[in-house]
Structure 1
């Protein structure tokens, strides 16, 4: 029995001619069998190179045809290209093809369309068989505990996609991870294929389709400098980046969440995993966006779900600019009422500009401190929402804030992760570049970009320390002062941690010793005193005297977490 394998580009007219001739032989000869393989034109050369290298074959042209030996141990005999096959058919079977070139081109076009449809069907079937591999770092964090049910209930990836969840943390948390695994299994979600725990870095991110990084910079004995924190972030990403590049799938999606250096961590992952598509690494800004919406909704005595299109610009966990100029409210209970799609401009609903400049600005600026004590519901909800948008599109016409790699949009310098307005569509996202910004906002973006460029330069060792933006009117809050308020638990001396201690135990409120300041830092005041002083600092900013102009200034709420020493030395 003669058994042949015919392979070629799906749009190749010569393959079409050889295919029909092979079909004719198979129908008319009882001992002639043919197996056809088509490849997309974009994948053909690489596939041909791999298959020939694997079998030690040489090829000159396509399509290729080779005879398979009947015993499975045989490598097969490469016959060559189209002409070789035609000569073989004429010599042994006395048959040739008289197909015209026009017919060859038409059939080749049909073959390509058929191949694309088959590929889509195979990908869909594969998604039903092979679960989506989701890896979560610092999995002992409360956010992970709250995130697992959201990922497994079918709302994020669809009711036809199974997931396998992998929990990564240090060996010190084995008992916690084991408890999470058992509880997740007890949920018996139909779409949850498996839950596993991992404490070894060599096993991290294997075959990952999605990587969710929950790691944060945690302080142990004393408050380090801002530059030391940045270098610690860099060292952590030097470990994670190559592992993701080596072990994860080539199209892996990386989501960076947390309360410290979110933009910088996303950028460093890109830096140390250069083969990962930059479109697939994002920093989450929706936590700050949702918090702003909730505050505005409370001010208007309405549901926060009705507040839309609040934009977060800049450094998500540092100096950020909350832009209300495009914000709208839906279903607002007032004298004017309309259908569900009827909206009103938010700035027309709020008349207290001083509230925006003082209380609104202050509370948003202290979110980093608040998030440390939260139970993880909000971060988990944000991660699940962004993933749902990524896989199933964001609501039409709605603005989503997200930290992405700047390519010069809105005159923002290239090469930094910057939060800006985007929309999700067809499994990807795009910047809403049609968003109009005024000169005042443009100046704010320039100041925000300065900080992110400085962080990047310190992380890459280009400069030794952060230099402040030369603008006296730009006042910021102190990241280190906020972190001083947090009580951290001193880790055991024999703690076995991942990546040389980069993943440290998560602190619990009220446990351990209070963080001690360095000799260069004053002792942190009580919470009430610190908040009142910070609030007074905001209130001394230039007030809005004219009610008619207050709306124009409502989008100037700026929140920042920066180095106090830099701000004190303009």
Structure 2
């Protein structure tokens, strides 16, 4: 990495960004030695609020922060960007159909994709968080033809972390001892949280999750539905969407992508499909990956049983439908 990394965060006056920004400032994302220049982008009416965030960054006296730019100017924000985290998106409101959400966000991410293409560093790493994340990522990638496709990812790490936590709670172990769960597909209620290849570290050594948790009905039922519906459950309880946990997941995603995953560990990332596991190219699909030297690699050769095939097909189909709808809205294909 360069001496100073230019980091863009969109939707920077929002809830998720408020937690995320300070993770970056502390060095949790890029390591304790990497200096950062933050570009905090939001709509014009939120720039005054960003000034308050700037004051808090200053008052935090973070030695890794060399400068902070608060702006509503997309060119100013994206010029020379090394890392772009697209948090801002049109939220789903009461009465909105999913098609309405796709339409509203397609135009936003078309503009941002073009800005990344025109102004960002050509080796920029892009993480899309704003929902529908997979398809928003696809739109942005499509409109940034000069940037390598593998430099675009979307966030399914929050789902991955949720799955690890549910396994840990059920097994009565610390979450750090749960490894290699998988999120397949879309960051939506069709995603498939998969425990089959995971393991738990116990005093006697590694044990497959299915050996430690013998309740197959729970593993194939409540576990999956809990992870799929966790975002809605948080909103119902808190009256706001996930913020701190989303910021933690963003930090985890970028840290692993940039600094690498431990040997033998894989994590979930939404990435452009390359045909792995029979998923056609042209969609952004969550796969198990490992990361090294700033690059991710899709884990190959994992067994897929009939139960998993059916679950993966459901989420694949949804992503294809989303893609077709979104590109109709932007008038392209």
TM-score, normalised via structure 2 length: 0.92
Deviation sequence 1:159-206 (CA, Å, 0-9, x none): 332100111111222232111111011111111101121123342312
Residue 356 of structure 1: aligned partner: 219
The C-alpha deviation readout for 1:62-89, integer Å capped at 9, x for no partner, is xxxxxxxxxxxxxxxxxxxxxxxxxxxx
Are the equivalent residues in 2 in contact too, given 1:412–1:445 (CA < 8 A)?
no
Superposition deviation, residue 273 in structure 1:
1.1
Of 7, 20, 40 in structure 2, the residue corresponding to residue 147 of structure 1 is 20
* 2:313 corresponds to 1:446: yes
Q: Tell me, what secondary structure is at the counterpart of 2:38?
A: strand
Which residue, 57, 80, 105 being the options, matches 1:207? 80
State the alpha-carbon separation in 1 of the partners of residues 28 and 44 from structure 2: 32
How large is the Cα RMSD of the aligned pairs?
2.0
Deviation digits for residues 318-370 of structure 1, max 9, x if unmatched?
A: 41111111110113xxxxx33xxx21111111122333344323322322324
What is residue 163 of structure 2 aligned with on the other side? Answer: 292
User: Alpha-carbon deviation of 1:374?
Assistant: 4.7
Q: Is the 8 A contact 1:185 1:195 kept in 2?
A: no
- Tell me what 1:216 maps to: 89
Q: What is the correspondence of 1:482-521 to structure 2 with a 5 Å cutoff? A: none
Task: Decide whether aligned partners of structure 1 residues 287 and 275 sit closer, same or farther in structure 2, where only a CA change above 3 A counts.
Answer: same
Distance 2:143 2:232 in 1: 29
The equivalences for 1:401-480 within 5 A come to 401-461=268-328
Q: Which has the higher contact order (CA 8 A, sep 6+)?
A: 2
Partner of 1:183: 56
Judging changes above 3 Å, is the alpha-carbon distance between structure 1 residues 375 and 453 closer, same or farther for their aligned structure 2 residues? closer
Give unmatched runs, 5+ long, in structure 2.
none
Report the TM-score when normalising by structure 1.
0.55
Between the two proteins, the alignment pairs up a number of residues equal to 326
Counterpart-to-counterpart distance in 1, 2:159 and 2:199:
17
Matched, 1:323 2:194: yes
Instruction: Give the equivalent residue in structure 1 for 2:250.
Output: 383
CA distance change for structure 1 residues 219 and 407 in 2, over 3 Å: closer, same or farther? closer
Distance 1:197 1:390, change over 3 A: same
Equivalent residue, structure 1, for 2:183:
312
| 3-state secondary structure, aligned to 1:204 | helix
The residue correspondences of 1:41-440 to structure 2 (distance < 5 A) are 127-128=2-3, 131-219=4-92, 222-258=94-130, 260-331=131-202, 337-338=203-204, 342-370=205-233, 372=235, 373-374=240-241, 376-440=243-307
SS in 2 for 1:460: helix
- Cα deviation, 1:422-460, whole Å, max 9, x if unaligned, reads 000111111111322224323332332111111111111
Counterparts of 1:318 and 1:406 in 2: how far apart (Å)? 20
Q: 1:209 to 1:450 in 2, by over 3 A?
A: same
Distance 2:253 2:109 in 1: 22
> What is the SS of the residue equivalent to 1:195?
strand
Change (3 A) 1:375 1:350: closer
Quick one: distance in 1 between partners of 2:54 and 2:308? 47
Structure 1 residue 291 displacement after superposition: 0.7
Question: Partner of 2:187: helix, strand, or coil?
Answer: coil
Q: Aligned in 2, Cα 1:158/1:202: closer, same or farther, shift over 3 Å? A: closer
Q: Which has the larger radius of gyration?
A: 1
Q: Give the conservation status (yes or no) of the 8 Å contact 2:192–2:224.
A: no
SS at match of 2:285: strand
SS in 1 for 2:8: strand
